[in-house]
Amino acid sequence: MEVEVYYSGQRGGTMPYEALPAFRLFCKQNGFQLKWDSTNKRIDLDSGLKGKICVLFTGVSTVETAYEREVLGTVQKFLSDSGMEVVLSQNNSSLAKNTDVAIRFSMREIRILEKPRLIFFQSEDEKRQELVKCLRTEMQQSGIACHYKVPKNKNQTSIIHIQLQLPLYTDEIQLKNYAEKIALHLASGVLEYLQNGLHIQPLAFLPPNLLKLFYSQMFFTADTERQKVADEGYQSEALITNEASDQASDQVSDQVSDLTSDLVTEQYSEPIEVLTMAEEDLEQEVMIHPILEVPEQNDLHAAAEVFFDYTLIHSESIEKPYLLIGTLQVKNTGNVELNNPIVCLRVSPVDSIKMGGQVLPPKLVETMAVQSTTGMKGWRYLEDDWFAQAMERGEYWIAPIQPVSISPQSTESFQNFQISFMKQEAGKGIVVEGVVLCNDQEVHFPANNRIAVSF
């Protein structure tokens, strides 16, 4: 019996049922999160960092710079790809409570400074000393001088503050170089800290595509061997069938030798011509295998699985809001591409919910969107008056800034949207539902689950 193996919701292949105990031990020692479904005979693996929360803060006041957001935006991508929840915020320091990592990054230009330097505002909190140590070790490898200061303020928060100080008028090329180095080593320091604290191996937070490079044999050997056996059996069956068309079945081996001899002497007979045609047909059939990769035009259909994955953060204080950090996953389960998905989030009650995260108003896309080598990336509200429409209908309409195409069996995620709300009266609750529209809004897919918080 074979067991289905999934990683982060994506099918990885199969493995023998008999290997289940050893595989569970392997996952435990390396830090993977494993869930065994005995009813469906299915293993669901997740990153060892799933459920861990990191909050990244920009700036030191109510003003942030595009440079700070660019650096932390890259760190967010690095860490999110490792399986943890990463929130990028500006000035809401209350988010730092009940999180695993909280870091503030700021940038300051100083006229008299000759070389760039990184300032660690050293915290005396023993719980954060290990994180500071890992970050210092990594940052020292960036080639930027590191210095440390202990703030005089005794009312220190759990946020670790790192400031990049630069000479005035540093050119753009150097700024970009510093940004890449800082983002890489900052993310590496966070991962090292979590690795040491959780006693897990780095394999446990590699994304699925990289894991397949290491463990493709583990997940795909069974499927490959079955196909190999099936192909060999099919070829043998075809050979025997054609040979037996005019020869006695109890003398097959002798007749094969006779036919081979006939081929050498070019004495072609009718049975050999039949065998040649059968081999040609077999080669053509192998060339179009598997059939699922070449669907008939009449069988084209659009389908998708849409579901929420979210984390709820709340404080014991009734004066502070609950924070819900969510991701809406869209997996293309059909056999045609899904283009330019538009997300509609329906919330209730409307007047109790505030929408946040990295969604930009249309007017700010040109100046605030994340720039990449292929252009601007991210998500935006669909209309300029998005807030008024949300208050009126309870719907937030969100679209990707760049063209997005989801190929069959691929997944696109609307990541890290944030919804904050105060505690509701007893018997009441907060509900968030989702719908995704694709292909010029010709097809739509409601989410398989919804977010509901009851009080």
Rounded-to-integer distance, Cα 119 and Cα 161, Å: 8
| Gyration radius of the chain over CA positions | 29
Rounded-to-integer distance, Cα 164 and Cα 105, Å: 8
| Mean pLDDT of the region 372-379 | 71
Q: Is the pLDDT of residue 75 over 90?
A: yes
Rounded-to-integer distance, Cα 59 and Cα 223, Å: 52
Which of 85-89, 143-147, 242-246 has the weakest average pLDDT? 242-246
Question: pLDDT confidence of 219, banded at 50, 70, 90?
Answer: very low
Question: pLDDT confidence of 436, banded at 50, 70, 90?
Answer: very high
Q: Do domains 53-199 and 300-454 have the same CATH topology?
A: no
| Mean pLDDT of the region 109-127 | 79
Rounded-to-integer distance, Cα 439 and Cα 338, Å: 6
Q: Report the mean per-residue pLDDT for the chain.
A: 76
Question: pLDDT confidence of 413, banded at 50, 70, 90?
Answer: confident
Rounded-to-integer distance, Cα 12 and Cα 32, Å: 15
Cβ–Cβ < 8 Å for 117, 163: no
* The pLDDT of residue 183: 92
* The pLDDT of residue 152: 62
Q: Is the pLDDT of residue 303 over 60?
A: yes
- Please report the DSSP string for 359-398 in residue order: EEPGGGHHHHSEEETTEEESEEESSTTHHHHHHHHSEEEE
| Mean pLDDT of the region 54-72 | 84
Question: pLDDT confidence of 209, banded at 50, 70, 90?
Answer: low
Instruction: Report, in this order, helix, strand and coil percent for the chain, each rounded to 5.
Output: 40, 30, 30
Question: pLDDT confidence of 122, banded at 50, 70, 90?
Answer: low
Cβ–Cβ < 8 Å for 159, 93: yes
Rounded-to-integer distance, Cα 351 and Cα 392, Å: 10
* The pLDDT of residue 228: 47
Query: What does the pLDDT look like over 10-31, one tens digit per residue?
Result: 777 788 888 888 888 888 877 7
Q: Which of 58-62, 136-140, 366-370, 447-451 has the highest mean pLDDT?
A: 447-451
* Fold observed for domain 300-454: Immunoglobulin-like (2.60.40)
| Mean pLDDT of the region 71-91 | 87
* The pLDDT of residue 341: 93
What is the distance, to the nearest Å, from the Cα of residue 214 to the centroid of all Cα atoms in its chain? 18
Q: Which of 107, 83, 291 is CA-nearest to residue 183?
A: 107
* The pLDDT of residue 151: 65
Query: What does the pLDDT look like over 321-370, one tens digit per residue?
Result: 888 888 899 999 988 999 999 999 999 888 888 888 778 888 887 777 66
Q: Is the pLDDT of residue 391 over 60?
A: yes
Q: Is the pLDDT of residue 275 over 70?
A: no
* pTM (2 d.p.): 0.47
Which of 6-20, 30-44, 288-302, 427-441 has the weakest average pLDDT? 288-302
* The pLDDT of residue 406: 92
Q: Is the pLDDT of residue 380 over 50?
A: yes
Q: Decide: helix, strand or coil at residue 61.
A: coil
Comparing 314 with 115, the larger pLDDT belongs to 115
How do the domains of the chain map onto residue ranges? Answer: 2-48+203-221, 53-199, 222-298, 300-454
| Mean pLDDT of the region 371-400 | 82
Question: Exposed/middle/buried for 402, CB within 10 Å: 0-12, 13-18, 19+?
Answer: middle
Could you tell me what percent of the chain has a pLDDT over 90?
15
Q: Which CATH architecture has domain 53-199?
A: 3-Layer(aba) Sandwich (3.40)
* The pLDDT of residue 236: 47
Q: Which of 203, 200, 201 is CA-nearest to residue 213?
A: 203
Q: Which of 376, 383, 366, 381 is CA-nearest to residue 403?
A: 376
Q: Decide: helix, strand or coil at residue 81.
A: coil
Number of neighbours of residue 32 by Cβ within 10 angstroms: 22
Q: What angle do CA 401, 103, 354 make, to 5 degrees?
A: 50
Q: Decide: helix, strand or coil at residue 209.
A: helix
Q: What is the largest CA-CA distance in the chain?
A: 100
